[in-house]
Amino acid sequence: MITFILFIIILGLIVLVHEFGHFIWAKKAGVHVYEFSIGFGPKLFSFNRKNDETTYLIKAIPLGGYVALAGELSGEGEDDKEVKEENKLYNKPWLSRLMVMVAGVLNNFILGFVLLFILGLIYGSTLATNEIANIDKTHPLYKSGARNGDLIVKINKAKIKDYDDIQTELALNGEKKPITLTYKSKGKEKTVKLKPIYDKKDKRYYYGISVKTINKKGIFSSLKFAFVKFCDIYKQLIIVIKSLFTHRIGVESVSGPVGIFQVIDIAKSSLYMLIYLTAYLSINVGFMNILPFPAFDGGHVLFLIIEKIKGSRVDAKLENTVNLIGFSILIILMILITIKDVFNLL
């Protein structure tokens, strides 16, 4: 029950922040907003504010949300005579429409950054480097000649700058496969091939890689921590998307709401992990939404860029059809991923 409540709170916060971005910029631009909804499906309750045309709703399925805008479908023939033409989105200046589309993504990025900053203030800014430390003399890395203070500069073909890079590359490599690791010692680089060792007690494979961590406290250290971790998370997401297209990892590696629920269940005993997970998911939602795929915010932005380049509006019917197809594909993918996650639980 606690996991479910945390699931609702975390997803609800991320969705609220995202949709509020669209909402507030639409209001600033003078766009008529029909509805502001958290969740989908049956309505739980709704309300209206005085002198405000918007209906605010909470719905039963907390896996998203939406802001319904007049003129959002780009069609000049939109059948709503009660809304003035100048209050419809497609009649607003290009820059205003762009800001409405990207505001949700920006809000998710801001939320992620702020949460990481809060972590730095509460727990200190702990950053793991690529400098080898506390190396175990029984592990293959030590036997290859590596010592404390040496720098890991490459794993397989990926350049390494900190421990997040190491974790990302090991995750993409697969826990049972050997890796090609390059480290720098006294100005010279040495490349070795490491096979993972199986730990019977923990029932997992590991490579014996441990690195130096730096922990500092203070506002400026927390800002640096938030910036570095934000960039690391964003870089990881780019690598994952690239790896999906290059078939380095399969679609089975992608998780949906059920997978997120499982992760929250694991993280619920640690406030640090819950805050970090919320930051990670918020940045993830922002990243995915800005991708130039139909029905995503990035898809709308792509059409706006095309409009700017060609100097005229993209055909409304074409844009709406492409977005409908994209939305249908997303729904199918979400269903398949959810089914996969459920089967993984069995």
Residues acting as catalytic residues: 19
C-beta separation of 217 from 127 below 8 A = no
CA distance 251 to 257: 15
Between the CA of residue 323 and those of 66, 72, 297, what are the distances in Å?
A: 15, 12, 10
Q: Which tokens in the block code for residue 243?
A: 């790896």
C-beta separation of 284 from 276 below 8 A = no
Q: Which residues pair with 37 in a beta bridge?
A: 57, 66
Give Cβ neighbours of residue 333 (< 8 Å, ≥ 6 apart): none
The residue type of 119 is L
Grouping H, G, I as helix, E, B as strand and the rest as coil, residue 47 is strand
CA distance 129 to 212: 6
Between the CA of residue 172 and those of 47, 104, 207, what are the distances in Å?
A: 47, 30, 14
